[in-house]
Structure 1
Amino acid sequence: MDLHDLKKDIFKIAYPYIKNRLNVALSIGIISQDQEATFTFGGSNFMLEEKPYIYEVGSISKVFTTSILGEMMQEGKIHIDDSIGKYFSEIPDNHPVTLKRLANHTSGLPGIGVLKNIYNLFDAQTPRDPFCQYSLEETIHYFKTHTDEPKIKFRYSNVGMGLLGYILATTLHTDYETAIKQRLTDPLNMPNTFISIPSDQAEAVLQGYTVLGHKKSPLQMNDFMAAGAIRSTVNDLLKFMSVHLSDENLGYTLTHQATETFSEHMGIGLGWLLEDNIIWHNGSTKAFSSYLGFDKTQQTGVVVLSNYRSPILATNPGQIGKDILKLLQV
């Protein structure tokens, strides 16, 4: 079957999302066995991708981070059970939070707290990244003063993943942005994937829109880029996903193995969420939303990128992606 024959079926899946978004650019990439295809929709129209459409991919950045983690584990540069105290002199050497706990969101770091949000409003001088309640200095202080075994089994943390990326880059004697380039985008030939926007690619970076359709300025993160600062295209993410699908990189494969199980059908590896046979992650910034998921047993995968932030309880790129994966089932 030619994957382009699925265009009408994919359009039916995507239409409830795109029909009321006047400025939407929705890019979809699919892999099935050894075939690939991409589709981009603008409003109710099918668009030819004459130039790369570059999106903020939000928390899909996290599985870039853990892909580097897996490679460094495979190379023996770090160990998954290393205490974070090994990497910060202010934190006890035997601190119970490990790199694995940062990678699978079991570090015990607080979630979004109302009181901390209020405090942050009156402390504008402390630099904090978007979607992160703590600065790097505050995070180190938190672990310095909280030295007990974390009691929370799972609590999603941008700060925890951001700290992991900081540790990995420091271990590589570089910064996170350079680590992504050296470890991922250059080796995988992903020329339109980056954090800082190059001047010669600025025109390809899409304008992003809020849930209500208001324009937002481009995302900027500093200390915790590893949590969500990456920009990319559907074609670049297909390259990234195909390596994960193929198991040709043993470090990447390490990240797919369950480290915590929440139910019969749900668990988490290193960064990746595991749902039955689907390995996936989604992403959202103030003006973009995204999904990347694949099924190694079926050798299928899908990437969905949108230049709108999606409402939680409405059709979104995650639901679109899961519906397309069902469509691709043999």
Structure 2
Amino acid sequence: MKAIKIIGIVILVITVLAFALYFYVKYKSNNVVDNKNLEISIDKQANKFIQEGNSIGLVIGIVKNGKTFIKGYGTINKEKQILPDSLSIFELASTSKLFTTSTLQLLVDEKQLQLEDKIQTILTDRVKISSLGQNTTLLHLATHLSGFPSLPNSFIAKMNDEKNPYKDLVTQDIYDYLRTCEAKQAEGNFEYSNFGMGLLGHLLEIKSGTKYEELVTQKLLDPLQMKNTFVTIDSSNQKFIVQGYDENGNPTPIWTDNVLTGAGSFLSNASDMIKFIKANLKDNETIISKSLIKTHQRQLNGETGLGWILPSSADKLLGNKEIVWHNGMAGGYSSFLAIDKTNRYGIIILSNKAIDVTTFGMKMVRTVRTQSWKE
């Protein structure tokens, strides 16, 4: 009996301490002192991030209270020691999934398709999908609720080049997998799926009769004047691409993908991404803003909008309760994008090292939210 009583007291103490810690963190997060110099706060955190070896070159772009801020830190290349800037181009990786889901919403608003359309109805005679995927819709793909794995085992078996893993995949690989839908869970189960978002991009190609990159350019990038955002690298944009580095600091090439392009194949710069942020902050900012803002809405009572990730309990505890966000990481790059439409600010972080910038990004979101520009 004595031992049971001691255990009960210990549990009570731990519970009280946990609640105390929770309310302390919540209080501190909602009562941050505004030092009234946001730029200095950004500089301090960005320089520390690089000094700790988390990035080689970093560009941070911010929109807040009608002011746009873009600044580079570190270098575009270890061999050149040149500061990156608003025009420096980075691989976005999965952050560009938002371009896929934004294009989906634009096509829905044009009445070209519906979110509830089943993928089998679009694939028609191209492939007979396994019964496991017969009820999967475009909405399931756009919200990671399709039940598809991140990548099928059949894809992983072909991804033998660590420096460029997706390059050997072909469209037939998609169809071969859909015949079995191996390891697919029932719809409604959240599993972040590169395959699912890549399939969505492919389905948009089929429905529109236009190649994925061209379709996104027509529907999204051209209306926003995002002229330095692309998948295909050529002589006009090559010179602006910063060198990417793996997590150990070794140079690595841009990943190429001709099959799951919709999962995250775009490159861009901070100047263009600021245009995307602005278009997602205000309904009447651009001719397509109303459609873009629809993608922020929670779907199917899940954890996402259309592509956008909604704030978790931890995000809310830190005060970031109104944001929608996404991140990305490829062989030599990482990115983070967050928008708070309620409080009218947004941030883009681009890095040329394959180390996740999400935690850093969330800290920066808190800084942007709590600090004001120097008067």
Verify same fold: TM over 0.5: yes
TM-score range, shorter chain: 0.7 to 0.9
Provide the residue aligned with 1:273 in structure 2. Answer: 309
Distance 1:121 1:9 in 2: 41
Provide the residue aligned with 2:347 in structure 1. Answer: 302
Provide the residue aligned with 1:91 in structure 2. Answer: 128
Query: In structure 2, what residue type is equivalent to 1:255?
Result: T
Kindly indicate whether residue 158 of structure 2 is the aligned counterpart of residue 120 of structure 1. Answer: yes
How far apart are residue 23 of structure 1 and its match?
7.5
How far apart are residue 153 of structure 1 and its match?
1.0
How far apart are residue 177 of structure 1 and its match?
1.1
Distance 2:82 2:53 in 1: 14
Provide the residue aligned with 2:243 in structure 1. Answer: 207
Provide the residue aligned with 1:35 in structure 2. Answer: 67
Q: Give the greater-gyration-radius structure (CA).
A: 2
Aligned residue among 180, 188, 195 for 1:145 = 180
Distance 1:133 1:164 in 2: 20
How far apart are residue 225 of structure 1 and its match?
1.0
Aligned residue among 272, 280, 283 for 2:328 = 283
Give % identity. Answer: 31
Distance 1:23 1:292 in 2: 17
How far apart are residue 250 of structure 1 and its match?
2.2
Provide the residue aligned with 1:162 in structure 2. Answer: 198
Structure 1: runs of 5+ lacking an equivalent: 311-315
Deviations 1:185-226, CA, capped at 9 Å, x for gaps? 221111211111120221110110000000001221101111
Given that 2:155 and 2:169 are in contact with CA atoms closer than 8 Å, whether structure 1 keeps it comes out as: no
Provide the residue aligned with 1:313 in structure 2. Answer: none
Distance 2:72 2:179 in 1: 48
C-alpha spacing 1:42/1:81, structure 2 compared with 1 (3 Å): same
C-alpha spacing 1:318/1:53, structure 2 compared with 1 (3 Å): same
Provide the residue aligned with 1:239 in structure 2. Answer: 275
Higher share of residues assigned strand: 1
C-alpha spacing 1:143/1:117, structure 2 compared with 1 (3 Å): closer
C-alpha spacing 1:171/1:329, structure 2 compared with 1 (3 Å): same
Distance 1:149 1:287 in 2: 31
Higher mean C-alpha displacement, 190-199 vs 243-252:
243-252
Given that 1:40 and 1:46 are in contact with CA atoms closer than 8 Å, whether structure 2 keeps it comes out as: no
Aligned residue among 144, 149, 171 for 1:110 = 149
Count residues in correspondence: 311
Higher mean C-alpha displacement, 226-235 vs 20-29:
20-29
Query: In structure 2, what residue type is equivalent to 1:170?
Result: I
Provide the residue aligned with 1:194 in structure 2. Answer: 230
How far apart are residue 71 of structure 1 and its match?
0.7
How far apart are residue 46 of structure 1 and its match?
10
Query: In structure 1, what residue type is equivalent to 2:58?
Result: L
Distance 2:265 2:273 in 1: 15
Distance 1:234 1:259 in 2: 29
